[in-house]
Amino acid sequence: MSSHSSPAKSGLLALTLGAVGVVYGDIGTSPLYALREVFAHGHVPLTPGNVYGVLSMIFWTLTVVVSLKYVTLILRADNNGEGGLIAMLALASMTVVSRPDLRRPLLLLGIFGTAIFFGDGVITPAISVLSAVEGLEVAAPGLHRFVVPVTLVVLTALFVVQRHGTAGIGRFFGPVMVLWFFVLAALGAWHIADNPAVLWALSPHYALAFVTSHPAIAFIALGSVVLCVTGAEALYADMGHFGKRPIRVAWFGLAMPALALNYFGQGAMLLDHPGNASNPFFEMAPTWALYPLIGLATCATVIASQALITAAFSVTKQVIQLGYLPRMRIHHTSVRETGQVYLPFINWSLYVCIFAAVVFFGSSGKLAAAYGITVTIDMLITTSMTFLVIHYGWKYPWALSVAATCFFFAIDFVFFSANVVKVFDGGWFPLVIGGAMFTIMMTWKQGRVLMAERLREDAIELRGFLESVFVSPPTRVQGTAVFLVSDAGLTPNALLHNLKHNKVLHETNLFVHVHHHEVPWIGFDKRCEIEPLGHDCWQVTLHFGFKNDPDVPEALSLLRGRGVQLDEMDTSYFLSRDIVIPTIGKGMAIWREKLFASMHRNASAAADFLNLPTNRVVELGSKVEI
């Protein structure tokens, strides 16, 4: 028995260590600013009763939102083992596929949540690294003027190294974050030992008493208390990388105890030293440990930022394959891990926005006002989609489904309401980014639909066209021609142009339609569908999930032995390269049509996206008015 259990335990330990390094980077660095934001601005008076009330609210927020909602409930809603907003969207939309009245608003909601994620992706690295470097102000107030420049240097270095991938340094993420959590726990326990009475705040009645006796102040405090659960979405998003059990073990075994100890330690210190409210985290440390702690905090925030940047690459790739963003250049940074990708455009777009956020806001305190709104919007969207999965997917009774999700929805809505008041204090910034992304994504999706409709109007049915061609067949040349088609069953423009100008037809012709599904993975056993059209012509449909890498030559190699003879060196790929012409009239607003035309023109080549051999690709263009 021991020979089998030992490898299993070592595998669980490795995955748990990885989960600590990637999943809990964001939420693990929230003690740098969460409690500070409650008391630092004077909106919530620093009294013993308020300290006890806020600590109780933080502890029960961690318990209800993270432990119960995400770790216990939402981790069960996996899409073939995958998690995250895109996986949840795909899972929820499949459960209501027969209900178009629900499916369309659901898709809009999910895409909006994904767009808002990019706003969150700008704020997280900016506030995390800034809050760590601001420890310099505690160590030496004269270093204040260096905080922003040092932050920008750290962030610039982080984005410069993205193109090399994280495989080399990723193995250090887990140990560094484990050390970080132990330091959090040690600092907290040290101050709790000086004032153990602070542990009475574990009782929820202190939070209830705070809310009932000072409702307005408590409402303001909630806007900052929610910062203690920033990064909770990562629990679900990274499920596919580590699995449910390691994430749960890492949370209950290390992350939550360390976070609770640190928050209560900060509270104990504030009860004895109210003047430390301006930066309670770094004020906890003894003088000799300040600079090492600043260094460790900077490393932890860089790791938290890295996890989010990696997530942004992964989410963008999935959104592209779902058809809501144009193709982009995607570089694989690891030969073993297909999920490790680098998108230059996303990398430098994020960098520009983060740079602007750091310079414009100038401090983590001002950025904190911009932070909570995006977090709470995504929490609300996740909870809403969870209801559809529970009721329509898992077939739970209506009453039980409502009870299971309305409780969490009410809590999320209260946090969201508390952050709405901060929109004009900075919350507008990530909302503008999210709104811009949503506009781009919906413009691309709608533009593709309009373009497909326009092409369909002028298209010729493939089977009938081939029958007419072979009445008086053209010259057949050696080799295989692969025609990529956007609509199965319709004649591709590339074939028409090839017959018109070259007046030849290859010996073997494959009309290939690439179909991206709303599931993460589709195995090789379900990759290809083939239908004979006669005269050595076949209609082929290739199926990919939104986490599969679309590799057309690899997929077509599966056709060997199914009546199709393929020689890689004797195969040519024909693509239609359409030029979009915006026109006034039906369709979208003219500015959106121009935006779509620009995105279509600048999209990465289909040959690169589909992994076609560049020396055997033929592109034939045409103009399409929308």
Q: For 290-327, what is each residue's pLDDT tens digit? A: 999 999 999 999 998 888 888 888 888 888 888 899 98
Verify that 131 and 270 share a domain, yes or no: yes
- Residue 563: Cβ within 10 Å count: 10
Q: Mean pLDDT, the chain, as a whole number?
A: 87
Question: pLDDT tens digits, residue range 48-68?
Answer: 999 999 999 999 999 999 999
168 burial type by CB count under 10 A (0-12 exposed, 13-18 middle, 19+ buried): exposed
Verify that 499 and 613 share a domain, yes or no: yes
Residue 381 placed within a domain: no
Verify that 49 and 187 share a domain, yes or no: yes
Residue 393 placed within a domain: no
Percent with pLDDT over 90 in the chain: 38
Q: How many domains does the chain have?
A: 2
Verify that 49 and 160 share a domain, yes or no: yes
Q: What is the mean pLDDT of residues 145-153?
A: 92
Residue 402 placed within a domain: no
Domain final residue pick, 369, 389, 417: 369
Q: What is the mean pLDDT of residues 358-370?
A: 87
Domain final residue pick, 317, 338, 369: 369
Please determine, for residue 23, whether its predicted confidence score (pLDDT) is greater than 60: yes
CATH of the domain at 75: 1.20.1740.10
Verify that 123 and 265 share a domain, yes or no: yes
Give buried/exposed letters for 37-66 (b at 16+ CB in 10 A, else e): bbbbeeebebeeebbbbbbbbbbbbbeebb
Contacts of 463 (CB under 8 A, 6+ apart): 489, 533
In 377-517, at which residue ranges do the beta strands (DSSP E only) sit?
Answer: 475-485, 504-516
166 falls in which pLDDT band (50, 70, 90)?
low
Verify that 358 and 494 share a domain, yes or no: no
Which of 38 and 561 is assigned the larger pLDDT? 38
Question: pLDDT tens digits, residue range 171-182?
Answer: 778 899 999 999
Residue 546 placed within a domain: yes
Residue 4 placed within a domain: no
Q: Which of 90-94, 223-227, 433-437, 622-626 shows the lowest per-residue confidence on average (mean pLDDT)?
A: 622-626
How far apart, in whole angstroms, are the C-alpha atoms of residue 97 and residue 547?
21
Verify that 272 and 147 share a domain, yes or no: yes
Most confident by average pLDDT, 49-63, 467-481, 566-580: 49-63
**What's the domain range around 484?**
454-625
pLDDT of residue 5: 42
How far apart, in whole angstroms, are the C-alpha atoms of residue 184 and residue 228?
14
Residue 616 placed within a domain: yes
pLDDT of residue 248: 92
Contacts of 22 (CB under 8 A, 6+ apart): 173, 174, 234, 238, 241, 242, 307, 310
How far apart, in whole angstroms, are the C-alpha atoms of residue 305 and residue 123?
10
169 falls in which pLDDT band (50, 70, 90)?
low
Please determine, for residue 83, whether its predicted confidence score (pLDDT) is greater than 80: no
Q: Is 395 left (phi over 0), alpha (psi -120 to 50) or beta?
A: left
Joined tokens for residue 433: 């980014």
- Concatenate the DSSP letters of all residues of 362-381 into one string: -SHHHHHHHHHHHHHHHHHH
Domain final residue pick, 317, 352, 369: 369
Q: Which of 151-155, 165-169, 176-180, 360-364 shows the lowest per-residue confidence on average (mean pLDDT)?
A: 165-169
Verify that 26 and 128 share a domain, yes or no: yes
Residue 339 placed within a domain: yes
8 falls in which pLDDT band (50, 70, 90)?
low
Verify that 357 and 467 share a domain, yes or no: no
Residue 429 placed within a domain: no
- Residue 319's Cβ-side half-sphere holds a number of Cα atoms within 13 Å equal to 30
